[in-house]
Amino acid sequence: MKALVAFLSGLLLSAGITISMMIDPAKVLGFLNVLDNWDPSLALVMGAALVVYSTGFYFSQKRAAPFLEKAFYLPKSTKVDRQLLLGALIFGVGWGLLGYCPGPAIAALTSGSTGTIGFVLSMVFGWWLTRKIKFN
């Protein structure tokens, strides 16, 4: 049952980011470019995501565990440290330069674009590399 729920959740997420055009780097860069010809339409996507997440989080606080797990797996640390800030900065620069973030980039693989494939391969290499480097 967990695998089915994960599959359906992934399918729903992928459909949503595709329909909202978050897989199109030009659309995302148009949203991020607030100084010249700004496209605010992705704010609706982010706003809808925030409403859904907040609602789910609110109701999760009333439960001892999720429906298909023994416990909630929430972050143990809430501190803003150097590693978090560095990661956020690197992510922001990458997103701002290219218009891709991980989920939409993976969904955009279906386009067959060599740029998208290169981005995802670089992203996977970056994940691997950061596991080898000590940041603390």
Q: What is the pLDDT of residues 30-53, one digit of tens each?
A: 988 889 889 998 899 889 999 999
State the residue for tokens 């995302």: 28
Is the pLDDT at 114 greater than 80? The verdict is: yes
- Write down the pTM of the prediction: 0.72
What is the reported pLDDT for 95?
Answer: 87
CA distance 52 to 125: 32
Ramachandran sector of residue 111 (left: φ over 0; alpha: ψ -120 to 50; beta: rest): alpha
CA Rg, the chain, in Å?
17
CA distance 82 to 51: 29
What is the per-residue pLDDT across 58-104, written as a single tens digit (0 to 9) for each?
Answer: 999 999 999 899 998 888 888 999 888 998 999 999 888 888 888 88
| Under 8 Å between Cβ of 121 and 128 | no
How many Cα atoms are found within 13 Å in the side-chain-facing hemisphere of 80? 3
Closest alpha carbon to 100 in 42, 28, 50, 44? 28
